[in-house]
Amino acid sequence: MLKGYVMVFQLPNWVARLLSVPRFRAYLDATGGDVERAWELYRWNVEVSEAFYGPLHCIEVGLRNAEHRLLTTRYGQADWWYAAPLTKHDTCRVDKAYADLARKGASSPTPDDVVTELGFGFWVSLLNRTYDRHLWVPALHRAFPHYHGRRSSLHDALLSMVLFRNRIMHHEPIHHRDLAADHRKIYRVLNYMEPAITRWLRGFDRVPNVLARRPEEGRR
């Protein structure tokens, strides 16, 4: 800064072209129209979204593998979705997984291929009340050996993680959320499944560090 002059922050020229003005508007609104602080908040939103990848990876992969193992045992076949009383909506999800795999060149997909293709929302849906009698009571409650509460509360917690994960995967703003609470919820559910995984995750989880560097603008 030259003496007697005030430098005015300007966004890089490529921002409007690649990130779009409407997209940046949410950050301007959060910072009272301060362009420089909005730009800092935008960058931090990208950084914290990236940091949540590890915890969300653990909860999604851990849930699907635990449920797949238990349902394979219950129905005596790896493609248990053909034997389980799935709703029409969830059956369509399985059909779509097969179709997507076929488009990717998998002419004879294995059950493991299908498990990987099915989204987080599918696995969480297996914990809703529709499946209480046929899936939760006889099998899926065992995926959470350290949980002693109601199925509905657990389902609601996981459903909120699906919505949170989708916001991140669609590159939407998450800076306005209570991200520390989101982080605690992920760890809480992971502990219900296997406490050892949370100890492993803490060894490289970047979320606490990124949260500590959150710009003041946009803080709840």
Convert the pLDDT of each residue in 21-40 to its tens digit. Answer: 777 888 888 988 888 898 89
The percentage of residues in the chain with a pLDDT greater than 70, rounded to a whole number, is 94
* 145 and 197 Cβ atoms separated by less than 8 Å: no
3-state SS, the chain, equals CCCCCCCCCCCCCHHHHHCCHHHHHHHHHHCCCCHHHHHHHHHHHHHHHHHCHHHHHHHHHHHHHHHHHHHHHHHCCCCHHHCCCCCHHHHHHHHHHHHHHHHCCCCCCCHHHHHHHCCHHHHHHCCCHHHHHHHHCCCHHHHCCCCCCCHHHHHHHHHHHHHHHHHHHCCCCCCCCCHHHHHHHHHHHHHHHCHHHHHHHHCCCCHHHHHHCCCCCCCC
Neighbours of 16 (CB within 10 A): 12
pLDDT digits over 112-131, tens only?
999 999 999 999 999 999 99
* pLDDT by 10s per residue, the chain, length 220: 434 434 456 777 777 777 777 778 888 889 888 888 988 999 999 999 999 999 999 999 999 999 999 999 999 999 999 999 999 999 999 999 999 999 999 889 999 999 999 999 999 999 999 999 999 999 999 999 999 999 999 999 999 999 999 999 999 999 999 999 999 999 999 999 999 999 999 999 999 999 999 987 544 4
